[in-house]
């Protein structure tokens, strides 16, 4: 009785784990061995052989169905990952196009309105020297104010739309909604008000993005903990953690290696390691580019 239960357990495990070819080979070997045993028994035991044949057929069909569903799931995950990648690429392309358009408009304002206001101010200066009048001084103040407002407008147009850590959080929240992964954000005091360049914002975003992708792909985790803070010297410190359900030795693949190189090129540091139940990515990015921490 116990031997039969053990056999059924092993057989059911084989249904869900073995590839179809290996499972069929196991079924044939088991069938032949069982047939030889049953044939050696009394003729009244032949119904066991028939029952085993039916059981083998049903098991083979179930094994094929399970593997087919698993293959469909893998294809779905691949297509979903490609869709997310293309969607992010489209979003970044649109963002880059908007920034280029804003830069073009800023340049046109600077070259046309800015130059004309400067020329007007110079003419008023010459007129006030020749014929000092209160009206000229008022006009000069008005032109100076207009010129300063123009400069501020040009500066605002040349600046990235969402400068700083807040823009990174917006991008991660967007990635979170697309990938159906729960990201627990913790931001330490003062980090949200820290201004960093667009280039460093991209570096920080790419690091968190790769860590989230790595968590989904390798540890099958749907929950990630991200902590952003400031180091003792005022640089950005980050930590990304996710749980590991089946700990395995990890190797620095292309994604993790590229992530480390990107951070180091920006003058920062990156450490990647795992414990018994967590995979951890943590590091520091300088607020000013080129500053080594």
Chain segment 13-25, per-residue pLDDT in tens: 555 555 555 555 5
Q: Which tokens go with 132?
A: 């000092």
pLDDT tens digits along 218-232: 666 778 999 999 887
Q: Which residue has the higher pLDDT, 196 or 265?
A: 265
pLDDT score at 28: 59
Please check whether residue 164 is in contact with residue 194, taking contact to mean a CB–CB distance below 8 angstroms.
Answer: yes
Q: What is the mean pLDDT of residues 249-270?
A: 85
Q: What percent of the chain has pLDDT over 90?
A: 8
DSSP string covering 263-276: HHHTT-EEEEEE-S
| Look-up of token digits 């003419």 | 123
Domain boundaries defined on the chain: 2-76, 93-158, 165-285
Identify the pLDDT of residue 35: 55
CA-based torsion, 5, 10, 16, 19: positive or negative = negative
Q: How confident is the model over 149-169, as pLDDT tens digits? A: 777 666 655 555 445 677 778
Q: What is the pLDDT of residue 38?
A: 53
State the alpha helices, DSSP H only, in the chain. 2-17, 20-39, 46-109, 115-130, 134-158, 165-179, 198-218, 254-265
C-alpha–C-alpha distance, residues 19 and 30, integer Å? 16
Taking residues 267-273, what's their average pLDDT? 92
Contact predicate 205/214, CB 8 Å = no
Cα–Cα distance, 144 to 151 (Å, whole number): 11
Q: Please tell us whether the domain made up of 165-285 is placed in CATH 3.30.565.10.
A: yes
pLDDT tens for each residue of 31-46: 555 555 555 555 445 5
C-alpha torsion sign, points 246, 252, 254, 256 = positive
The alpha carbon of 147 is separated from its chain's Cα centroid by a whole number of angstroms, namely 43
Mean pLDDT over all residues of the chain? 73
């Amino acid at each position: 009785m116990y031997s039969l239960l053990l056999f059924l357990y092993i057989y059911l495990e084989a249904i869900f784990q073995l590839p179809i070819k290996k499972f069929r080979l196991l079924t044939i070997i088991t069938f032949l061995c069982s047939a030889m045993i049953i044939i050696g028994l009394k003729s009244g035991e032949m119904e066991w052989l028939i029952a085993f044949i039916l059981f083998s057929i049903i098991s083979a069909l179930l094994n094929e169905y399970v593997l087919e569903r698993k293959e469909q799931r893998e294809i779905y995950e691949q297509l979903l990952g490609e869709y997310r990648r293309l969607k992010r690429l489209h979003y970044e392309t649109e963002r880059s196009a908007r920034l280029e358009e804003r830069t073009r408009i800023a340049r046109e304002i600077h070259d046309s309105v800015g130059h004309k206001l400067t020329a007007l101010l110079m003419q008023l200066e010459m007129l006030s020297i020749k014929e000092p009048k209160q009206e000229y001084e008022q006009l000069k103040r008005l032109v100076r104010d207009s010129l300063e407002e123009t400069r501020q407008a040009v500066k605002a147009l040349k600046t990235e739309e969402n400068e700083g850590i807040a823009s990174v959080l917006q991008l991660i929240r967007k990635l979170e909604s697309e990938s159906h992964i729960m990201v627990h954000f913790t931001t330490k005091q003062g980090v949200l008000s820290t201004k960093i360049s667009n280039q460093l914002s991209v570096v920080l975003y790419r690091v968190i993005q790769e860590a989230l992708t790595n968590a989904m792909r390798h540890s099958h985790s749907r929950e990630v903990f991200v902590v952003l803070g400031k180091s003792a010297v005022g640089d950005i410190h980050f930590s990304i953690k996710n749980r590991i359900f089946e700990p395995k030795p990890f190797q620095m693949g292309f994604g993790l290696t590229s992530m480390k190189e990107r951070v180091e090129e920006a003058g920062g540091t990156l450490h990647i390691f795992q414990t018994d139940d967590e995979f951890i990515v943590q590091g520091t990015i300088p607020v000013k580019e080129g500053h080594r921490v």
